[in-house]
């Protein structure tokens, strides 16, 4: 048996039990290893879904240019699909993302434009604004807009949620996901809650992001917003894919705890994953008192550790940040 192209290998990622790092938690803790996707992240799923839905709707035409703001992983999925389907790609990103991510996007023939992190989303220099301007200026172009494009959530409703349900034989009691665009947690969460309304969906958030306070108070507090290091989770606005009714609770994790836990996952479990996985495991450890012996917790491990070699897996960087003595 063979696949007709690399896009057919996306999905059906393994579910792996964590043993050492979570030993103080009474529950069974399982990790959904999304780094086994061909683009090494969960974003492959929704990138292809957004493209296919845009093609069906006539928004993306042959020979077109895909223009998107990305922290790296969505861009990778889009770029990979663009190679197979014959599109060009231009990506805007922020200067807080790791250099490895930019180089990987360029390896697929994409043009990468790096924008400042520390500006408002409305600022003309922000990676949101620059991508929107480029769409207006580029003929035959399309912006997926992963934050508000509901094909993102739908991909995880159709794929990730059902996979988790089948792999746990319906025994899953908690889904834990770092929340960025909201597509993963809300798509998979919606499917799982339809199967069993008692399943708890926990979102992992960063300090400097607005999600937790908004969920708990309904207030969008601009004073909560400040730059932070953790990549791929948290936001300074409310994406259309974040359905706060599906997410039961948000737990915030510090940059330091997320970075150091990312390293511990490799050291203790032999699983080489990215920054959002570290944040998610740290969050579950903070919430361990809420878990019982017969609980089955699934944590999504979004991407691969190779994207963070200049950061979490670099001791000089860790010392510079004050995370290591």
The beta-carbon contacts of 214-220 under 8 Å, at least 24 apart in sequence, are 214/238, 214/244, 215/244, 215/247, 215/249, 215/250, 216/250
Other beta carbons less than 10 A from residue 193's beta carbon: 18
Residues 206, 209, 211, 217, CA torsion sign:
positive
- Strands 296-301, 200-206: pairing is unpaired
List the one residue out of 60, 108, 59, 110 whose CA is nearest residue 89. 110
Q: How confident is the model at residue 260 (pLDDT cuts 50, 70, 90)?
A: very high
Q: What residues does CATH 3.40.50.1100 cover in the chain?
A: 6-36+160-321, 43-142
Q: What does the block give as tokens for 325?
A: 């003595």
pLDDT reading at 72 higher than 90: no
Pick the CATH number of 6-36+160-321 from 3.10.290.10, 3.30.420.10, 3.40.50.1100, 3.30.980.20: 3.40.50.1100
If one compares 203 and 97, the residue with the highest pLDDT of the two is 203
pLDDT reading at 71 higher than 80: no
Say how far apart CA 6 and CA 192 lie, in whole Å: 28
Average of per-residue pLDDT values in the chain: 96
* Mean pLDDT score, 24-42: 97
Residue count (the chain): 325
Tell me the pLDDT tens digit for each residue of 165-215: 999 999 999 999 999 999 999 999 999 999 999 999 999 999 999 999 999
* Mean pLDDT score, 95-114: 89
pLDDT reading at 246 higher than 90: yes
| pLDDT value at residue 98 | 77
If one compares 325 and 63, the residue with the highest pLDDT of the two is 63
Say how far apart CA 304 and CA 291 lie, in whole Å: 27
- Strands 28-33, 15-17: pairing is antiparallel
- Strands 65-69, 28-33: pairing is unpaired
CATH 3.20.20.70 fits 43-142, yes or no: no
* Entry pTM: 0.95
| pLDDT value at residue 121 | 83
| pLDDT value at residue 89 | 97
* Mean pLDDT score, 270-278: 97
CA terminus-to-terminus distance, the chain: 51
| pLDDT value at residue 97 | 79
Q: What does the block give as tokens for 200?
A: 């708890």
Distance of CA 288 to the CA centre of its chain: 23
Tell me the pLDDT tens digit for each residue of 285-325: 999 999 999 999 999 999 999 989 999 999 999 999 999 98
For 78, 164, 223, 294, the CA distances from 195, given in Å and listed in that order, are 31, 11, 38, 18
Q: What does the block give as tokens for 266?
A: 């490799």
43: annotated active-site residue: yes
Tell me the pLDDT tens digit for each residue of 210-239: 999 999 999 999 999 998 999 889 999 999
DSSP state of 34: G
Catalytic entry in 17, 20, 32, 43: 43
Residue 169, burial from CB neighbour count under 10 angstroms (0-12, 13-18, 19+): exposed
| pLDDT value at residue 48 | 98
pLDDT reading at 60 higher than 90: yes
| pLDDT value at residue 150 | 98
pLDDT reading at 120 higher than 90: no
Say how far apart CA 128 and CA 242 lie, in whole Å: 17
Instruction: List beta partners, residue 168.
Output: none
């Amino acid at each position: 048996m063979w696949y007709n192209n690399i896009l057919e290998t996306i999905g059906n990622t393994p579910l792996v039990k964590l043993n050492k790092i979570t030993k103080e938690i009474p529950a069974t803790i399982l990790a959904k290893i999304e780094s086994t996707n061909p683009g090494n992240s969960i974003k492959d799923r929704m990138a292809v879904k957004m493209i296919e839905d845009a093609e069906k709707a006539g928004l993306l035409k042959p020979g077109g240019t895909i223009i998107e703001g990305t922290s790296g992983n969505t861009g990778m999925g889009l770029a990979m699909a663009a190679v197979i389907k014959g599109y060009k790609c231009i990506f805007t990103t922020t200067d807080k993302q790791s250099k490895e991510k930019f180089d990987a996007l360029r390896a697929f023939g994409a043009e990468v434009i790096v924008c400042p992190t520390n500006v408002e989303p409305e600022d003309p220099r922000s990676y949101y604004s620059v991508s929107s301007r480029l769409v207006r200026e580029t003929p035959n172009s399309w912006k997926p807009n992963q934050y508000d494009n509901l094909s993102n959530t739908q991909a995880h409703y159709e794929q990730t949620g059902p996979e988790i349900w089948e792999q746990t034989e319906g025994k899953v009691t908690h889904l834990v996901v770092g929340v960025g665009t909201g597509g993963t947690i809300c798509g998979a969460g919606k499917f799982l809650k339809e199967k069993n309304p008692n399943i708890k969906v926990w979102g992992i958030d960063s300090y400097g992001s607005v999600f937790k306070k908004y969920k708990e108070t309904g207030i969008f507090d601009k004073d909560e917003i400040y730059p932070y290091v953790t990549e791929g989770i948290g936001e300074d606005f409310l994406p259309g894919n974040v359905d706060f009714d599906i997410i039961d609770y948000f737990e915030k994790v510090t940059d330091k705890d997320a970075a150091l836990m990312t390293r511990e996952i490799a050291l203790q479990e032999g699983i080489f994953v990215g920054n959002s996985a570290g944040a998610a495991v740290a969050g579950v450890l903070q919430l361990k008192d809420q878990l019982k012996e017969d609980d089955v917790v699934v944590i999504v491990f979004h991407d691969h550790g190779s994207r963070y070699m200049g950061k979490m897996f670099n001791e000089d960087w860790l010392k510079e940040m004050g995370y290591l003595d």
